[in-house]
Protein backbone atom coordinates (compact mmCIF):
# COMPACT_ATOMS: atom_id res chain seq x y z
CA UNK A 1 0.00 0.00 0.00
CA UNK A 2 1.35 3.40 -0.99
CA UNK A 3 1.11 5.88 1.86
CA UNK A 4 1.00 9.38 0.41
CA UNK A 5 1.36 12.19 2.92
CA UNK A 6 1.88 14.88 0.32
CA UNK A 7 -0.28 16.02 -2.58
CA UNK A 8 2.68 15.58 -4.94
CA UNK A 9 3.20 11.94 -3.95
CA UNK A 10 -0.51 11.23 -4.44
CA UNK A 11 -0.63 13.00 -7.82
CA UNK A 12 2.48 11.13 -9.03
CA UNK A 13 1.11 7.74 -7.95
CA UNK A 14 -2.27 8.35 -9.56
CA UNK A 15 -0.68 9.55 -12.81
CA UNK A 16 1.06 6.17 -13.19
CA UNK A 17 -2.14 4.27 -12.48
CA UNK A 18 -4.16 6.32 -14.96
CA UNK A 19 -1.65 5.52 -17.73
CA UNK A 20 -2.76 1.89 -17.43
CA UNK A 21 -6.42 2.96 -17.74
CA UNK A 22 -7.33 1.35 -14.43
CA UNK A 23 -10.76 1.97 -12.94
CA UNK A 24 -9.93 3.96 -9.80
CA UNK A 25 -12.05 4.30 -6.68
CA UNK A 26 -11.92 6.70 -3.73
CA UNK A 27 -13.39 6.41 -0.26
CA UNK A 28 -12.99 9.76 1.51
CA UNK A 29 -12.94 9.45 5.33
CA UNK A 30 -11.87 11.17 8.51
CA UNK A 31 -10.52 7.89 9.91
CA UNK A 32 -11.31 6.17 13.25
CA UNK A 33 -12.73 3.33 11.18
CA UNK A 34 -15.79 1.31 12.07
CA UNK A 35 -17.85 -1.18 10.08
CA UNK A 36 -19.63 1.64 8.23
CA UNK A 37 -16.34 2.84 6.74
CA UNK A 38 -15.26 -0.75 6.08
CA UNK A 39 -18.47 -1.51 4.17
CA UNK A 40 -17.62 1.30 1.74
CA UNK A 41 -14.00 0.20 1.44
CA UNK A 42 -14.89 -3.46 0.87
CA UNK A 43 -17.49 -2.62 -1.78
CA UNK A 44 -15.06 -0.25 -3.51
CA UNK A 45 -12.31 -2.89 -3.39
CA UNK A 46 -14.57 -5.32 -5.28
CA UNK A 47 -15.50 -2.79 -7.94
CA UNK A 48 -12.25 -0.94 -8.68
CA UNK A 49 -8.84 -1.91 -10.07
CA UNK A 50 -7.08 0.71 -7.97
CA UNK A 51 -8.50 1.87 -4.66
CA UNK A 52 -7.51 4.99 -2.76
CA UNK A 53 -8.77 5.80 0.73
CA UNK A 54 -8.19 9.21 2.27
CA UNK A 55 -7.94 9.89 5.97
CA UNK A 56 -8.12 13.58 6.69
CA UNK A 57 -9.83 15.23 9.63
CA UNK A 58 -10.86 18.32 7.72
CA UNK A 59 -10.66 21.42 9.91
CA UNK A 60 -12.74 23.43 7.42
CA UNK A 61 -15.89 21.44 8.15
CA UNK A 62 -15.76 22.04 11.90
CA UNK A 63 -16.99 25.35 13.31
CA UNK A 64 -15.09 27.00 16.16
CA UNK A 65 -16.16 25.27 19.38
CA UNK A 66 -16.96 21.97 17.63
CA UNK A 67 -14.93 18.81 18.20
CA UNK A 68 -12.07 19.18 15.67
CA UNK A 69 -9.30 18.72 18.25
CA UNK A 70 -11.11 15.97 20.16
CA UNK A 71 -12.20 14.06 17.03
CA UNK A 72 -11.06 10.42 17.44
CA UNK A 73 -7.85 9.57 15.60
CA UNK A 74 -6.51 6.00 15.35
CA UNK A 75 -4.03 6.04 12.50
CA UNK A 76 -2.09 2.80 13.17
CA UNK A 77 -5.25 0.77 13.56
CA UNK A 78 -6.79 2.35 10.46
CA UNK A 79 -3.66 1.72 8.39
CA UNK A 80 -3.70 -1.94 9.40
CA UNK A 81 -7.38 -2.31 8.47
CA UNK A 82 -6.66 -0.82 5.04
CA UNK A 83 -3.64 -3.11 4.52
CA UNK A 84 -5.77 -6.14 5.38
CA UNK A 85 -8.34 -5.09 2.82
CA UNK A 86 -5.84 -4.66 0.01
CA UNK A 87 -6.22 -0.91 -0.43
CA UNK A 88 -3.69 0.44 -2.95
CA UNK A 89 -3.17 3.97 -1.74
CA UNK A 90 -3.73 5.74 1.55
CA UNK A 91 -3.78 9.52 1.25
CA UNK A 92 -3.29 11.06 4.69
CA UNK A 93 -1.97 14.58 4.31
CA UNK A 94 -1.21 16.95 7.16
CA UNK A 95 -3.44 20.04 7.23
CA UNK A 96 -0.80 22.29 5.66
CA UNK A 97 -0.65 20.05 2.56
CA UNK A 98 -4.34 20.64 1.93
CA UNK A 99 -4.64 24.23 3.05
CA UNK A 100 -1.88 26.73 2.39
CA UNK A 101 -1.52 29.39 5.06
CA UNK A 102 -3.24 31.88 2.72
CA UNK A 103 -5.82 29.41 1.33
CA UNK A 104 -8.81 31.43 0.09
CA UNK A 105 -10.84 29.43 -2.42
CA UNK A 106 -13.97 27.55 -1.39
CA UNK A 107 -16.72 25.49 -3.02
CA UNK A 108 -20.29 26.22 -1.97
CA UNK A 109 -23.56 24.50 -2.75
CA UNK A 110 -26.41 26.90 -2.07
CA UNK A 111 -29.71 24.99 -2.16
CA UNK A 112 -29.47 21.52 -0.62
CA UNK A 113 -27.21 22.93 2.11
CA UNK A 114 -29.93 25.25 3.44
CA UNK A 115 -31.86 22.75 5.53
CA UNK A 116 -31.10 20.04 8.14
CA UNK A 117 -27.42 20.04 9.23
CA UNK A 118 -26.81 23.13 7.10
CA UNK A 119 -29.08 25.08 9.45
CA UNK A 120 -27.44 23.79 12.63
CA UNK A 121 -23.86 23.87 11.33
CA UNK A 122 -23.34 26.95 9.15
CA UNK A 123 -20.27 26.59 6.96
CA UNK A 124 -20.10 22.82 7.44
CA UNK A 125 -21.01 21.89 3.88
CA UNK A 126 -18.72 24.54 2.46
CA UNK A 127 -15.90 22.72 4.25
CA UNK A 128 -17.12 19.34 3.00
CA UNK A 129 -17.53 20.46 -0.64
CA UNK A 130 -14.16 22.16 -0.64
CA UNK A 131 -12.27 19.16 0.70
CA UNK A 132 -14.08 16.66 -1.52
CA UNK A 133 -13.42 18.80 -4.61
CA UNK A 134 -9.74 18.89 -3.66
CA UNK A 135 -9.67 15.11 -3.09
CA UNK A 136 -11.28 14.58 -6.51
CA UNK A 137 -8.63 16.79 -8.11
CA UNK A 138 -5.73 15.08 -6.34
CA UNK A 139 -6.89 11.47 -6.69
CA UNK A 140 -8.96 11.59 -9.94
CA UNK A 141 -11.30 8.74 -9.00
CA UNK A 142 -13.71 7.26 -11.52
CA UNK A 143 -16.02 6.27 -8.66
CA UNK A 144 -16.27 7.80 -5.17
CA UNK A 145 -18.13 6.09 -2.34
CA UNK A 146 -20.20 7.75 0.38
CA UNK A 147 -22.52 6.50 3.13
CA UNK A 148 -26.26 7.15 3.39
CA UNK A 149 -25.67 7.84 7.09
CA UNK A 150 -24.73 11.35 5.91
CA UNK A 151 -27.57 11.52 3.39
CA UNK A 152 -27.50 15.29 2.99
CA UNK A 153 -23.74 15.24 2.48
CA UNK A 154 -24.00 12.55 -0.22
CA UNK A 155 -26.75 14.48 -2.03
CA UNK A 156 -24.75 17.71 -1.93
CA UNK A 157 -21.64 15.94 -3.24
CA UNK A 158 -23.72 14.49 -6.09
CA UNK A 159 -24.99 17.98 -6.92
CA UNK A 160 -21.51 19.50 -6.73
CA UNK A 161 -20.13 16.74 -8.97
CA UNK A 162 -22.81 17.37 -11.58
CA UNK A 163 -22.68 21.16 -11.37
CA UNK A 164 -18.88 21.39 -11.59
CA UNK A 165 -18.51 18.54 -14.13
CA UNK A 166 -16.22 16.34 -12.08
CA UNK A 167 -15.90 13.14 -14.14
CA UNK A 168 -16.70 11.01 -11.08
CA UNK A 169 -19.56 8.61 -10.41
CA UNK A 170 -20.92 8.95 -6.88
CA UNK A 171 -22.14 5.79 -5.18
CA UNK A 172 -24.10 5.94 -1.93
CA UNK A 173 -24.15 2.82 0.25
CA UNK A 174 -26.59 1.86 3.03
CA UNK A 175 -26.22 2.76 6.71
CA UNK A 176 -24.47 0.14 8.87
CA UNK A 177 -26.02 -0.12 12.33
CA UNK A 178 -25.31 -1.72 15.70
CA UNK A 179 -27.72 -4.36 17.04
CA UNK A 180 -29.55 -1.61 18.96
CA UNK A 181 -30.15 0.18 15.66
CA UNK A 182 -27.60 2.90 16.49
CA UNK A 183 -25.91 3.99 13.27
CA UNK A 184 -22.16 3.43 13.51
CA UNK A 185 -20.25 6.68 13.81
CA UNK A 186 -16.73 7.62 14.89
CA UNK A 187 -18.42 9.98 17.36
CA UNK A 188 -20.03 7.00 19.14
CA UNK A 189 -16.55 6.52 20.65
CA UNK A 190 -17.21 9.59 22.80
CA UNK A 191 -20.10 7.81 24.55
CA UNK A 192 -19.53 5.74 27.66
CA UNK A 193 -20.97 2.19 27.72
CA UNK A 194 -24.31 3.06 29.29
CA UNK A 195 -24.90 6.20 27.29
CA UNK A 196 -23.99 4.32 24.14
CA UNK A 197 -26.66 1.77 24.91
CA UNK A 198 -29.12 4.60 25.46
CA UNK A 199 -28.21 6.10 22.09
CA UNK A 200 -30.34 3.33 20.57
CA UNK A 201 -33.17 5.82 21.22
CA UNK A 202 -32.22 7.59 17.97
CA UNK A 203 -33.13 4.63 15.81
CA UNK A 204 -36.09 3.75 18.06
CA UNK A 205 -37.44 7.25 17.43
CA UNK A 206 -37.13 6.82 13.67
CA UNK A 207 -38.83 3.46 13.94
CA UNK A 208 -41.55 4.94 16.15
CA UNK A 209 -42.30 7.68 13.60
CA UNK A 210 -42.37 5.13 10.80
CA UNK A 211 -44.91 3.15 12.80
CA UNK A 212 -47.08 6.23 13.43
CA UNK A 213 -47.06 6.92 9.68
CA UNK A 214 -47.83 3.32 8.78
CA UNK A 215 -50.91 3.58 11.00
CA UNK A 216 -52.19 6.38 8.80
CA UNK A 217 -51.01 9.63 10.40
CA UNK A 218 -49.80 11.96 7.62
CA UNK A 219 -49.55 15.23 9.54
CA UNK A 220 -45.88 16.18 9.90
CA UNK A 221 -46.21 18.65 12.83
CA UNK A 222 -48.19 16.01 14.72
CA UNK A 223 -45.78 13.15 13.94
CA UNK A 224 -42.86 15.40 14.91
CA UNK A 225 -44.43 16.30 18.23
CA UNK A 226 -45.26 12.64 19.00
CA UNK A 227 -41.66 11.66 18.17
CA UNK A 228 -40.27 14.42 20.41
CA UNK A 229 -42.46 13.17 23.25
CA UNK A 230 -41.33 9.60 22.59
CA UNK A 231 -37.69 10.65 23.02
CA UNK A 232 -38.25 12.98 26.00
CA UNK A 233 -40.20 10.33 27.92
CA UNK A 234 -37.59 7.63 27.49
CA UNK A 235 -34.40 9.71 27.55
CA UNK A 236 -35.09 13.10 29.16
CA UNK A 237 -31.37 13.98 28.92
CA UNK A 238 -31.35 13.86 25.13
CA UNK A 239 -31.38 17.31 23.49
CA UNK A 240 -33.10 17.37 20.13
CA UNK A 241 -31.41 19.48 17.47
CA UNK A 242 -33.96 18.67 14.77
CA UNK A 243 -36.51 16.09 13.69
CA UNK A 244 -37.44 16.71 10.08
CA UNK A 245 -39.43 15.18 7.27
CA UNK A 246 -38.12 16.28 3.90
CA UNK A 247 -38.41 15.58 0.21
CA UNK A 248 -35.51 13.18 -0.47
CA UNK A 249 -34.61 14.97 -3.72
CA UNK A 250 -34.89 18.66 -2.76
CA UNK A 251 -34.45 18.30 1.02
CA UNK A 252 -37.30 20.78 1.49
CA UNK A 253 -39.57 20.39 4.52
CA UNK A 254 -42.88 18.76 3.73
CA UNK A 255 -46.07 19.51 5.68
CA UNK A 256 -47.73 16.19 4.95
CA UNK A 257 -46.44 12.69 4.21
CA UNK A 258 -47.51 11.83 0.67
CA UNK A 259 -44.85 9.79 -1.10
CA UNK A 260 -41.24 8.89 -0.49
CA UNK A 261 -39.99 10.92 2.46
CA UNK A 262 -36.70 11.24 4.28
CA UNK A 263 -36.97 11.43 8.01
CA UNK A 264 -33.81 12.96 9.45
CA UNK A 265 -32.82 13.45 13.03
CA UNK A 266 -30.00 15.16 14.94
CA UNK A 267 -29.67 14.97 18.71
CA UNK A 268 -27.15 15.74 21.40
CA UNK A 269 -26.44 12.92 23.86
CA UNK A 270 -23.99 14.00 26.56
CA UNK A 271 -23.08 16.95 24.29
CA UNK A 272 -22.20 14.52 21.47
CA UNK A 273 -24.07 15.41 18.29
CA UNK A 274 -25.36 12.33 16.45
CA UNK A 275 -27.39 12.13 13.25
CA UNK A 276 -29.43 9.44 11.58
CA UNK A 277 -32.07 9.10 8.91
CA UNK A 278 -34.62 6.71 7.50
CA UNK A 279 -36.41 6.65 4.16
CA UNK A 280 -40.14 6.25 4.53
CA UNK A 281 -42.67 5.24 1.91
CA UNK A 282 -40.35 3.48 -0.52
P1 LIG B 1 -16.48 10.07 8.09
O2 LIG B 1 -15.16 9.42 8.40
O3 LIG B 1 -17.38 10.18 9.26
O4 LIG B 1 -16.33 11.36 7.30
O5 LIG B 1 -17.22 9.06 7.11
C6 LIG B 1 -16.64 8.64 5.90
C7 LIG B 1 -17.71 8.00 5.05
O8 LIG B 1 -18.25 6.88 5.73
C9 LIG B 1 -18.88 8.96 4.74
O10 LIG B 1 -19.27 8.81 3.39
C11 LIG B 1 -19.95 8.48 5.68
O12 LIG B 1 -21.27 8.73 5.23
C13 LIG B 1 -19.67 6.98 5.72
N14 LIG B 1 -20.24 6.40 6.94
C15 LIG B 1 -20.08 6.82 8.22
N16 LIG B 1 -20.81 6.08 9.07
C17 LIG B 1 -21.45 5.15 8.32
C18 LIG B 1 -22.37 4.08 8.61
N19 LIG B 1 -22.78 3.81 9.85
N20 LIG B 1 -22.83 3.34 7.58
C21 LIG B 1 -22.44 3.62 6.30
N22 LIG B 1 -21.59 4.60 5.96
C23 LIG B 1 -21.09 5.35 6.95
Contact 130, 92 (CB under 8 A): no
Contact 73, 92 (CB under 8 A): no
Nearest CA to ligand 1 atom 18: 36
Of all residues in the chain, what percent carry a pLDDT higher than 90?
96
pLDDT at 194: 82
Report DSSP letters for 110-175, one per residue: -SGGGSTHHHHSTTHHHHHHHHHHHHHHHH--SEEEEEGGGHHHHHHHHHHHHHTT---EEEEEPP
For ligand 1, whether the C-beta of 113 sits within 6 Å is no
**Residue 124 known to be catalytic:** no
Catalytic site residue from 37, 187, 196, 244: 37
State the pLDDT confidence band at 193, using cuts at 50, 70 and 90.
Answer: confident
Q: What is the pLDDT of residue 282?
A: 63
Q: Identify the pLDDT of residue 17.
A: 94
Nearest-atom number in ligand 1 for the CA of 33 is: 2
Q: Which atom of ligand 1 is nearest to the CA of 174?
A: 21
Ligand 1 near 36 CB (within 6 A):
yes
Section 18-46 average pLDDT: 97
In this prediction, residues 54-83 reach a mean pLDDT of 97
**Least confident among 34-43, 133-142, 194-203:** 194-203
Find out whether the beta carbon of 276 lies less than 6 Å from any atom of ligand 1: no
The DSSP annotation for 187-229 comes to: GGGGS-HHHHHHTTHHHHHHHHHHHHHHTT--BHHHHHHHHHH
Mutate to test the pocket of ligand 1, among 33, 54, 149 (most ligand atoms within 8 A of CB): 149
What pLDDT score does 191 carry? Answer: 92
Judge if the beta carbon of residue 188 lies within 6 A of ligand 1. Answer: no
- Kindly report the average pLDDT of the chain as a whole number: 97
Give the pLDDT of residue 198: 87
What's the pLDDT at 268? Answer: 96
Given this model, what pLDDT does residue 21 score? 86
The DSSP output letter for 186 is G
> How far, rounded to the nearest angstrom, does the alpha carbon of residue 212 sit from its chain's CA centroid?
27
| Span 132-188, pLDDT tens digits | 999 999 999 999 999 999 999 999 999 999 999 999 999 999 999 999 999 999 999
In testing the pocket of ligand 1, which one of 40, 60, 90, 176 has its CB within 8 Å of the most ligand atoms? Answer: 40
Please tell me the predicted confidence (pLDDT) of residue 212. Answer: 97
pTM: 0.98
Report how far ligand 1's centroid is from the alpha carbon of 147 (Å): 5
Q: Three-state SS string across 28-70, please?
A: EECCCCCHHHHHHHHHHHHHCCEEEEEECCCHHHCCCCCCCCC
- Residue 198, ligand 1, Cβ within 6 A: no
CA of 188 to the centre of ligand 1 (A): 12
Q: What is the pLDDT of residues 208-248, one digit of tens each?
A: 999 999 999 999 999 999 999 999 999 999 999 999 999 99
Amino acid sequence: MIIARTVKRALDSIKKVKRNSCLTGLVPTMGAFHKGHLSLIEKARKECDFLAVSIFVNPKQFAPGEDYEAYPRSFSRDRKLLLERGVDLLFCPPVRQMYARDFSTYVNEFVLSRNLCGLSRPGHFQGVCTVVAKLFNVLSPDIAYFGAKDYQQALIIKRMTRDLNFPVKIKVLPIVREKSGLALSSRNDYLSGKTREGAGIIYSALDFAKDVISKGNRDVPEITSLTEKFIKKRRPGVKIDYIKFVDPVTLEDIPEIKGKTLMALAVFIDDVRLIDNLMIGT
